[in-house]
Structures are given as structure tokens and as C-alpha cells.
């Protein structure tokens, strides 16, 4: 596969001054980027829950909770009808 890459003259000069061939430099960038995992689990708040544990916890919290006499399940169904 051949790929055309446009880089600034300044960067090209820096790469050549370091003794690397432009092709080798770009191949190294692509290889290092491919080695980094793209999908990571990110926890935004406190709590040491795995996704499965969090799901179970949410289902537990839903039990016996209501809003103006409507259970969460009823509210979900109401939302689907709209």
C-alpha cells in the first residue's frame, strides 16, 4: 500500500537533520499509533464497579422507586409511546 503524506518543510528538515529517512519516520509513527489500544475503560466518578456490577446496582436501585405513583418501568413505557 502506498500513502501520500503532506508534512511541513520545517518538520521534514528536522526529521532529515536527525538522520532518519522520512519514510522510516512515518512508518514508526504509524506502528507506534497502531500499538496503542484505542478503547479503554474510563471511570468518571468514584466507585470501584465493573460494568456488570454497575448494571446490577442500577437494577437494584430501580426496585420500589416511583415518581408520582409511576414505577420506573411505567415511565420507560410511557417514553416509548411518545
Residue-by-residue DSSP string for 33-60: HHHS-S------SS----HHHHHHHHHH
> Please, which pLDDT band fits residue 17 given cuts at 50, 70 and 90?
very high
Taking only the tens place, the pLDDT of each residue in 28-40 is: 888 887 777 777 7
Distance of CA 40 to the CA centre of its chain: 6
Cell numbers describing residue 68: 408520582
| The predicted structure's pLDDT at residue 43 | 65
Q: pTM (2 decimals)? A: 0.39
Decide: 21 and 31 in contact? Cβ < 8 Å: no
CA distance 45 to 54: 12
Amino acid at each position: 500500500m502506498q500513502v501520500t503524506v503532506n508534512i511541513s518543510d520545517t518538520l521534514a528538515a528536522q526529521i532529515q537533520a536527525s538522520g532518519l529517512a522520512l519514510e522510516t519516520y512515518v512508518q514508526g509513527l504509524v506502528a507506534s499509533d497502531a500499538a496503542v489500544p484505542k478503547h479503554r475503560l474510563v471511570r468518571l466518578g468514584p466507585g470501584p464497579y465493573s460494568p456488570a456490577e454497575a448494571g446490577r446496582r442500577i437494577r437494584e436501585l430501580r426496585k420500589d422507586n416511583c415518581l408520582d405513583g409511576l414505577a420506573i418501568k411505567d415511565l420507560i413505557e410511557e417514553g416509548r409511546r411518545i
